Structure formats: C-alpha cells, structure tokens
Amino acid sequence: MFSHVMVGTNDLDKAKAFYDALLGTLDVRPARVDGHRIMYLTKAGIFMVSKPINGEPATHANGGTIGFACSSPEQVHAWHAAGIANGGKPCEDPPGVREGSGVKLYLAYLRDLDGNKICAMHRMS
C-alpha cells in the first residue's frame, strides 16, 4: 500500500546516526544520503528522514506513529535498546506484549531525536 514514509529532522547528521543504529537491528543497511534527506531502501519500502524543503523547523505529528516490523521479541528489544543508546526517549509502556481484539503483539515505543513517535512490532498471533 505504501511506497515510502518520511519524517522531518532538524539535524540530518544526528538523525542518520540514530536511524542507522536503530534500523541496523532490523538488518537494514545504513542510509543513503541524498542532499537534504537520507533514505533507507528495502524490498518492503523506503523510509526517509528529511530536512523540511520549506526551510521551516521540522515538527513531529501529534497522534502519528511509524511502526517497524520485527521478526521476534528479541529483535524488538534490540531495536529499543539501540534507540535509547543513540538518544531516543522511551514512551508508552515498557516493551512487552499487548493484546486486544484477538491479536497478540510484542511492542516497544520510542521518540526519535526530533520527537517523532516510532514503534517496533512483532505479531505473535
């Protein structure tokens, strides 16, 4: 359904270091730099981080969350730990199982360096 997801940043170098470490836990190669944005190219889609083209400061979405698929609860924990080690801030409940509507998920949430809410998710059922 999606071709790509993009979030804004006010510091491209710091964002690259953060997301290279975070997405490296998901076996995603370091970002390709393209001028004012960085791109993580995968078979499943593209994740980009960009300085706003209009020159205004980047801000995060209120109510928005970007989720990254994980293959196991251990990978969720590695993602979360890498995020915190690189300046991300934990938010929501600690990493763990969430159940509802017949679905069992293993989730972890962070705020990136610019305040974007991101999530690691492993579907358990």
Q: pLDDT tens across 65-123, in order?
A: 999 999 999 999 999 999 999 999 999 899 999 998 889 999 999 999 999 999 999 99
Alpha-carbon span 98 to 117, nearest angstrom? 17
Whether 1 shows a pLDDT value over 80: the answer reads no
Q: Is the CATH code 3.10.180.10 the one for domain 4-52+64-124?
A: yes
Name the phi and psi angles at 44, rounded to 5: -85, -10
- Give tens-digit pLDDT for 7-64: 999 999 999 999 999 999 999 999 999 999 999 999 999 999 999 999 999 998 888 8
pTM of the model: 0.91
Query: For the chain, what are the domain ranges?
Result: 4-52+64-124
Tokens of 109: 């949430």
